[in-house]
Amino acid sequence: MKLYIIRHGETDWNKEKRLQGQSDIPLNDYGRELARITGKALKDVHFDYVFSSPLSRAYETAELLTEGRGIEIKTDERIKEICFGEDEGIPAFERRETFPLFFEDPENYEPAKGGESYVELCKRTRDFIEEVIIPLSKQQPNATVLISGHGAMNRSLMIYLKHQGIGQMWEGIFQKNCCVNIFEINGYDFKLLQDGKIYYEEKEDAISGNVYVIGDAIRNGDK
């Protein structure tokens, strides 16, 4: 079975570098454009099943990616973005002393009040893979499945599929808006086929001050 894991398009909070988490912020016009471009690039891929986070930015991305195909989009709470609790909506630069641990030392990251830990995130996404994706791969090995999700949530899916731990959460290719990851799934046998590919030319202001927007938070540097 082929599994496509895709990040949502850009939102206004992405541009403003606000911690987004589970706040239901919609795509902006540029985000919709990215989703449409990505959908055109994948027009020859037949998706048998589409799953999405219930947050509107991921759901609309899935709608635009599959526009005109008549495919049902199923939502699942387990593939929502990580929750930042009281920090949601706050510009990340206001949390410079504590937030870098989110990327640089995931094992020691402690969420704000009401927020979610990496352990909690990884548990619910692991449950989704083991209860939905793996059984589907056994029942329909020739199917192609799409998951439309978020920056941290997608990484939690990917470290499971790559047999990695939380400490390796942000290793590898930087995951941009509407990037496409592809895995081959055969029961508990997982193989990465494509990592973080984008199908659009980035605008000149996509990178500003060496701060990279990742959709649901921001990250300093180029790791």
**Residue 203, pLDDT score:** 73
pLDDT in tens, 75-116: 999 999 999 999 999 998 888 777 889 999 999 999 999 999
Please say if the pLDDT value at position 215 is more than 90.
no
Q: What is the torsion angle, in degrees rounded to the nearest 10, for the CA atoms of residue 112, residue 114, residue 119 and residue 123?
A: -150
**Which residues are identified as catalytic?**
8, 81
Considering only CA atoms, which of 60, 67, 70, 86 is closest in space to residue 6?
A: 60
Place of tokens 């605008």: 203
Helix axis angle, 56-65 relative to 29-41, nearest 10°? 40
**Residue 174, pLDDT score:** 86
Domain residue extents for the chain: 2-220
Q: What is the 3-state secondary structure (H, E, C) of the chain?
A: CEEEEEECCCEHHHHCCECCCCCCCCECHHHHHHHHHHHHHCCCCCCCEEEECCCHHHHHHHHHHCCCCCCCEEECHHHCCCCCHHHCCCEHHHHCCCCCHHHHCHHHCCCCCCCCCHHHHHHHHHHHHHHHHHHHHHHCCCCEEEEEECHHHHHHHHHHHCCCCHHHCCCCCCCCCCCEEEEEEECCEEEEEEEEECCCCCCHHHEECCEEECCCCEEECCC
Helix axis angle, 118-128 relative to 151-161, nearest 10°? 60
Please say if the pLDDT value at position 208 is more than 50.
no
Computed over every residue of the chain, the mean pLDDT equals 91
Percent of the chain with pLDDT over 70: 91
Half-sphere CA count of 113, side-chain side, radius 13 A? 1
Q: Which CATH architecture has domain 2-220?
A: 3-Layer(aba) Sandwich (3.40)
